[in-house]
């Protein structure tokens, strides 16, 4: 992970890791190197606020001193990339990437720009599902390469974010009509490999075949694995070749959570139906049976966002408004509390605790401990569908209508 000096509030330099993909380094939501504010409102602890027109649920990322946001018009006919100066909160570039004459159908609850970009070495990789995948120069906003020929009927809109590894960009297409994983060469955009899912969904209803998950790269016995949830099953691939390593059947559809791992287990959420939440023992190959499943539970399950791991504990936030703490080894519930509204944004873990934002803009800071404790929180207008990002000691929160940089003034 590249390091950079990010210019934060008051013009001071704050050393920080870049938050260059969905949920930061390794997709774990780990911001424990940052000291973040524990209280805020639209009028307090706001370093800057930038209104962002359009409709987009993608999360911000941080690269080379800027925040980056993919954006779209509500009708999906214009797809763009926004570059924001972290010091001032001003737009440093607003790049129109593609105009789409006839966008696919997207439900009002989703957006045409729900896939979070990723970045490396002055290049921003954007993904809007089948409508567009592109590599963009960070300085000029010029499109280096683009793909609009990767088919998928998302039926209700795209949601899976891209992932970088070595010279590959990984994309998941789990649609109504086709379901596959693709690896693109990051220099040219050409397809390096493509793996059809080959899942027995038990139905011809394409709605039951859809998923929105972002893949995770895990190291198992010293070798990398690309773990890709889908409807019905999760499949692990060799990221270099696309060869299948293992698969496990868990049922469900609309899987959205990034797999997390610790203690020789990988934690999977099945979305709507199926297991709900479970743990699979790593190190096995082929089609896994029940002996590979360490535990599964419906209590504390998350439908749309991702899990936080800390030592021997898991933390989740659900679409029903609950926050939960579970034992990572057993799945046993340690505590569960109803906070209120639905959680679609994924939580992050900072020094002070777990940060959660619901779809009405209410934020919570909870102790990442076995004992339930509310440390702080605040309210922002318009609600949060996007997950937060971190730049040094700035907490970047995208609401439905803008981007807030929360921190000490």
When computed from its CA atoms, the radius of gyration of the chain, rounded to whole angstroms, is 20
pLDDT tens readout for residues 122-173: 999 999 999 999 999 999 999 999 999 999 999 999 999 999 999 999 999 9
pLDDT tens readout for residues 348-395: 999 999 999 999 999 999 999 999 999 999 999 999 999 999 999 999
How many structural domains are present in the chain? 1
Helix (H) or strand (E) holding 93: strand 91-99
Nearest Cα residue to 149 out of 173, 125, 120: 173
So what's the pLDDT on residue 17?
64
Decide: helix, strand or coil at residue 154.
coil
Q: For 393-408, what is the HEC assignment?
A: CEEEEECCCEEEEECC
So what's the pLDDT on residue 278?
97
pLDDT tens readout for residues 7-64: 222 232 333 469 999 999 899 999 999 999 999 999 999 999 999 999 999 999 999 9
pLDDT tens readout for residues 78-95: 999 999 999 999 999 999
Nearest Cα residue to 24 out of 321, 258, 304: 258
Flag whether pLDDT at 2 surpasses 50. no
Q: What is the mean pLDDT of residues 226-230?
A: 98
Q: If you write DSSP's letter for every residue of 188-230 in order, what string do you get?
A: T--EEEEEE-----SSS-GGGG---PPPEEEEETTEEEEEEE-
Rounded-to-integer distance, Cα 127 and Cα 32, Å = 28
Burial class, 298, CB count within 10 angstroms (exposed 0-12 / middle 13-18 / buried 19+): exposed
Which range marks the domain in which residue 24 is found?
Answer: 3-406
CATH of the domain at 320: 2.130.10.10
Global confidence as pTM: 0.94
């Amino acid at each position: 992970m590249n390091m950079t000096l990010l210019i934060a509030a008051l013009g001071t330099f704050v050393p920080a890791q870049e938050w260059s993909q969905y949920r930061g380094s390794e997709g774990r939501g780990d911001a424990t190197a940052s000291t973040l504010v524990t209280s805020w409102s639209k009028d307090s602890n706001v370093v800057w606020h930038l209104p962002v027109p359009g409709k987009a649920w993608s999360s911000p990322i941080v690269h080379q001193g800027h925040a980056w946001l993919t954006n779209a018009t509500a009708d999906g006919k214009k797809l763009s990339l926004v570059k924001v100066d972290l010091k001032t909160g001003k737009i440093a570039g607003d790049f129109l990437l593609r105009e789409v004459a006839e966008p696919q159908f997207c439900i009002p609850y989703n957006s045409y720009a729900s896939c979070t970009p990723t970045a490396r070495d002055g290049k921003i990789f954007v993904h809007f599902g089948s409508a567009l995948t592109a590599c963009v120069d960070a300085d000029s906003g010029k499109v280096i390469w683009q793909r609009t020929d990767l088919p998928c009927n998302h039926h209700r809109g795209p949601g899976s974010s891209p992932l970088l590894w070595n010279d590959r960009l990984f994309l998941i297409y789990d649609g109504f009509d086709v379901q596959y994983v693709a690896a693109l060469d990051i220099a040219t955009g050409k397809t390096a490999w493509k793996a059809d899912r080959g899942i027995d969904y038990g139905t011809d209803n394409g709605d039951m075949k859809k998923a929105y998950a972002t893949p995770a790269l895990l190291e198992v016995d010293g070798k990398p694995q690309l773990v890709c949830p889908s409807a019905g099953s999760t499949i692990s691939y060799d990221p270099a070749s696309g060869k299948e390593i293992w698969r496990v059947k868990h049922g469900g559809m609309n899987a959205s959570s990034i797999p997390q791992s610790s203690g020789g287990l990988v934690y999977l959420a099945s979305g709507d139906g199926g297991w709900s939440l479970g743990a699979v023992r790593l190190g096995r190959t082929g089609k896994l049976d029940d002996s590979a499943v360490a535990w599964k539970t419906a209590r504390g399950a998350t439908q749309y966002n991702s899990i936080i791991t800390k030592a021997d504990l898991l933390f989740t936030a659900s679409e029903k408004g609950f926050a939960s703490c579970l034992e990572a080894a057993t799945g046993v519930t340690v505590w569960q509390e109803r906070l209120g509204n639905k959680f679609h944004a994924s939580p992050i873990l900072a020094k002070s605790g777990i940060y959660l934002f619901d779809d009405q803009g209410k934020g919570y800071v909870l102790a990442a401990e076995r004992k339930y404790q509310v440390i702080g929180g605040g309210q922002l207008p318009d609600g949060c569908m996007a997950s937060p990002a971190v730049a040094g000691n700035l907490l970047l929160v995208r609401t439905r209508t803008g981007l807030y940089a929360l921190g000490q003034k």
